[in-house]
Structure 1
Amino acid sequence: MNKWIVSSACAALLLAPLAFAQSVGEKTGVNSTLGISPTTQDFVTEAANSDILELAAAKLAEGKGNADEKKFAEQMTTDHTKTSKDLKELVDSGDVKATIPVKLDSSGQKKLDELSDAKPQDFAGYYDPMQVSAHKDAVSLFERYAKSGDNPKLKDWAGKTLPALQHHLEMAQNLNKNRD
């Protein structure tokens, strides 16, 4: 009997971290590497943070960027304003049970601070690769949720939004390539 209790306790301790694996994994990028779908809350948090960062970075690009970056930033403002609105509507309607962050997470804030501190002549060196990286992450996030997310309406929205994000990634890669 005692062995059974000890074994059960050990199993519970070993399995407990798995219940939190997606949240931790999403923060460290492990889920992306493994192709694991984020939880609904993680997806909403990551998508909202992505939108907040894109909108703030676009505002900086409109002031510091070259003509191509300004055009790209205009598209990001239009598209990410729409995705922010769509996500908020899904949550506000009650179809998605999650909390939308109202400010940028510390990782995104650090990127935005670096971008903000960049001199206009150095701006492209920060902005262009950041856009490639941010959109690779967004495409991965939306692909994984669209494939195996647990909320049908959010899963559908992620799938419908994915082509625009893939297009953004192509645009960002061209922007970065033209800089070299």
Structure 2
Amino acid sequence: MTSINSRSRTLGGLVFVSLIAACGVAGPTVAQSVGEKTGANSVLGVSPTTEDFVLQAAQSDMFEIQSSQLASEKGGDKVKDFAVKMIEAHKTTSGQLKTAASGKNAKLTIPTEVSSSQKSMLDDLNGRSGDDLADQYVDDQVSAHKDAVSLFERYAEGGENPELKAWAAKTLPDLKHHLEMAQSLDK
């Protein structure tokens, strides 16, 4: 009996350790919490951690800029003006985020690449042109801005870093306006 209990505890412990490692809790290479990565925090209205907020806000800006550059070059007149506005607006917010994230209360690392899913979306856009690119770009913009509005709302409401929290609240109206503009292109 002792042998079976001992093996069960060992096996149970191995399963537990494996689950923790699989969730990314055990290693320092975790880029994003499980709640943010799966979207559970957004659905539940849970504020992201400061690290998650900075990661997602920076990646969102990079995606907006890169996808808008493609749209302004290959997407045609339907989206060109909007794309140029998005490039300028998100270059501005990228600079503001870098300043806020490097402030005396933060010292956070800004990512230098979009997420793997955003990379796939950019690759997809790059393979398109004209109205086909414009239609997909608009769909991507609506989705990306909905995500950004949720992220900024949640951080502005319950964020940990006062400077970033204030910046999120200040930036939120512009993101909501971008979402409205993207939705109007979708009609």
Distance in 1, matches of 2:68 and 2:81, equals: 10
Match of 1:74 among 84, 94, 103: 84
Q: Highest CA radius of gyration, 1 or 2?
A: 2
Q: Does 1:141 align with 2:151?
A: yes
More helix per residue: 1
**What is the CA deviation profile of residues 71-110 of structure 1, one whole-angstrom value per residue up to 9, with x for unaligned ones?**
0011101110011000111122333232110111211101
Shift of 1:67: 1.9
Aligned to 1:98, the other structure's residue is in SS state coil
Kindly provide the amino acid, as one letter, of the partner of residue 37 in structure 1: S
Distance in 2, matches of 1:39 and 1:146, equals: 12
Shift of 1:118: 1.2
In structure 2, the residue matched to 1:40 is 50
TM, length-normalised to structure 1: 0.84
Shift of 1:47: 0.2
The number of residue pairs the alignment matches comes to 164
How big is the alpha-carbon RMSD for the aligned residues of Structure 1 and Structure 2?
2.1
Matches within 5 A, 1:140-159: 140-159=150-169
Aligned to 1:118, the other structure's residue is in SS state coil
In structure 2, the residue matched to 1:3 is none
Distance in 1, matches of 2:116 and 2:125, equals: 14
Match of 1:30 among 40, 59, 63: 40
Distance in 2, matches of 1:121 and 1:176, equals: 12
In structure 2, the residue matched to 1:113 is 123
Structure 2 segments unaligned to the other structure (5+ residues) = 1-8, 26-31
Structure 1 segments unaligned to the other structure (5+ residues) = 1-5
Determine what percentage of the aligned residue pairs are the same residue: 53
**What is the CA deviation profile of residues 139-170 of structure 1, one whole-angstrom value per residue up to 9, with x for unaligned ones?**
00000000000111100000000000000000
2:76, 2:131 within 8 Å by CA — same for their partners in 1? no
Kindly provide the amino acid, as one letter, of the partner of residue 150 in structure 2: S
